[in-house]
């Protein structure tokens, strides 16, 4: 049956993406572990490929790479768990300090700004007490949510193993369903996706590892308690582009603002530390380690992050950028879809972009103009 009505065609055009969005939202607990497994498989692929080229059987190569990854994750988790255990022992002290700091904040607002509103103090205290209670409050919710996440993450190594083991089979399947005249394009797409995904995941993971060290050392130098756990938490948010450093830095900032004896002084020190770290990450680490592998313009990165958080929450924000990069590779390899790849990419605004070279040229031009007028 051929549909001729323009209205029906338009409604079907709208219905397909709506059903797609509904499906990925409903099936998020099933889909996001698969998405993470695919990205981590790309992360481990260079190691597996290296071992296979050195006469390792595929199964042994994959198991070796997985074992190395599990050892690293277990080491980080053990360090994290030790710090969390120490923090749990001090919860009563931290809660009392937080309540005292909130009272001091309300006192300062009243004395210096003339703001007298006990609702703010009551609101903050209620939320602080809920957070520090280990029963049905914030911590209980966090740990129950974490438990549910851990149960889903346990299956990740199995998914990763199967993705790596059957990677050739998946590639052959794609080639088998591709027309003969398009096979070269399909092979190029598969190679580009493998290269970009592996470089991006490897680069971002290395940046996060370096930031774990920098954050923790910086907080230790300042004298912040639980510096290691705060440094690790803040670093892991850097898997989220643009907003990662801001979100990660807010964790230790709010912690010292609420739970230290000199909150203002410590908060200023932590703020300065993370400004320095953000400058280092944005201008030194990410450009030299991650580079321009993603090639997505900031507008669509921000839209992607908002979309990912709306659909899958934090897991969506973590996986959306590499999948946007993969989508751009596919679009760019198909001539009829290349305009959409151009829209996603960073090109087209070079003449409007600011750079150090342009600023210097502008300054030289201004000086010549002033000298000619004189």
Confidence at residue 48, expressed as pLDDT on a 0 to 100 scale: 94
Whole-angstrom distance, CA of residue 252 vs CA of residue 248: 8
Confidence at residue 65, expressed as pLDDT on a 0 to 100 scale: 94
Question: Is residue 161 within 8 Å of residue 58, measured between CB atoms?
Answer: no
How far does the chain reach from its first CA to its final CA, in angstroms? 80
pLDDT tens for the chain, 374 residues: list them. 555 677 777 777 788 888 888 888 888 888 888 999 999 999 999 999 999 999 999 999 999 999 999 998 888 888 777 777 777 766 667 777 777 777 776 666 666 555 555 555 555 556 555 555 544 444 444 444 444 556 667 788 999 999 999 999 999 999 999 988 889 889 999 998 888 888 888 888 899 999 999 999 999 998 888 888 889 889 988 888 777 878 888 888 888 888 877 888 888 899 999 889 888 888 888 777 776 667 788 888 889 988 988 888 888 888 888 899 899 999 998 888 889 889 888 876 666 666 556 666 666 656 566 566 65
| DSSP secondary structure of 104-127 | HHHHHHHHHH----HHHHHHHHHH
Q: Which runs of consecutive H residues, i.e. helices, occur in the chain?
A: 6-26, 28-53, 58-89, 91-113, 118-132, 138-153, 156-165, 167-176, 183-222, 227-236, 244-259, 263-280, 286-289, 298-312, 314-333, 338-344, 356-373
Confidence at residue 73, expressed as pLDDT on a 0 to 100 scale: 85
Confidence at residue 155, expressed as pLDDT on a 0 to 100 scale: 86
Domain coordinates in residue numbering, the chain: 30-165
Confidence at residue 109, expressed as pLDDT on a 0 to 100 scale: 61
Confidence at residue 174, expressed as pLDDT on a 0 to 100 scale: 92
For residue 48, what are its two tokens? 């597996």
The pair phi, psi for residue 243, each rounded to 5°, is -85, -10
Confidence at residue 148, expressed as pLDDT on a 0 to 100 scale: 55
Confidence at residue 172, expressed as pLDDT on a 0 to 100 scale: 93
Place of tokens 């323009």: 6
Whole-angstrom distance, CA of residue 205 vs CA of residue 196: 14
Whole-angstrom distance, CA of residue 370 vs CA of residue 374: 6
Confidence at residue 355, expressed as pLDDT on a 0 to 100 scale: 55
CB neighbourhood size of 289 (10 A): 16
């Amino acid at each position: 049956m051929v549909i001729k009505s323009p209205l029906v065609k338009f409604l079907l055009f709208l219905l397909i993406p709506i059903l797609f969005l509904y499906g990925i939202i409903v099936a998020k607990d099933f889909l996001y572990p698969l998405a993470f497994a695919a990205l981590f498989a790309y992360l481990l692929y260079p190691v597996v490929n290296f071992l296979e080229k050195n006469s390792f059987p595929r199964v042994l190569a994959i198991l070796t790479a997985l074992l190395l990854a599990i050892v690293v994750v277990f080491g980080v988790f053990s360090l994290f768990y030790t710090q969390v255990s120490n923090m749990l022992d001090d919860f009563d002290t931290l809660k009392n300090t937080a309540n005292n700091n909130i009272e001091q904040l309300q006192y300062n607002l009243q004395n210096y700004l003339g703001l007298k509103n006990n609702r703010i103090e009551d609101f903050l205290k209620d939320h602080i007490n809920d957070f520090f209670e280990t029963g049905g409050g914030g911590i209980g919710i966090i740990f129950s949510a974490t438990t549910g996440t851990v149960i889903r993450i346990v299956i990740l190594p199995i998914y990763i193993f199967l993705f790596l083991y059957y990677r050739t089979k998946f590639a052959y399947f794609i080639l088998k369903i591709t027309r003969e005249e398009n096979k070269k394009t399909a092979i190029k797409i598969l190679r580009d996706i493998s290269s970009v995904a592996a470089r991006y995941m490897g680069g971002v993971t290395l940046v996060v590892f370096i930031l774990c060290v920098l954050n923790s050392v910086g907080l230790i130098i300042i004298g912040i308690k639980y510096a290691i756990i705060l440094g690790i938490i803040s670093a892991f948010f850097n898997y989220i582009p643009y907003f990662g450093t801001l979100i990660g830095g807010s964790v230790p900032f709010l912690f010292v603002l609420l739970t230290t004896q000199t909150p203002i002084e410590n908060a200023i020190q932590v703020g300065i530390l993370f400004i320095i770290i953000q400058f280092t990450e944005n201008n030194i680490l990410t450009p030299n380690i991650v580079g321009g592998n993603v090639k997505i313009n900031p507008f669509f990165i921000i839209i992607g992050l908002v979309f990912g958080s709306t659909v899958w929450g934090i897991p969506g924000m973590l996986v959306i950028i590499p999948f946007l990069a993969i989508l751009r590779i596919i679009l760019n390899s198909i001539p009829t879809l290349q305009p959409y790849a151009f829209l996603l990419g960073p090109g087209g605004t070079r003449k409007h972009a600011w750079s150090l070279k342009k600023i210097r040229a502008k300054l030289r031009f201004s000086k010549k103009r002033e000298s000619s007028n004189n």
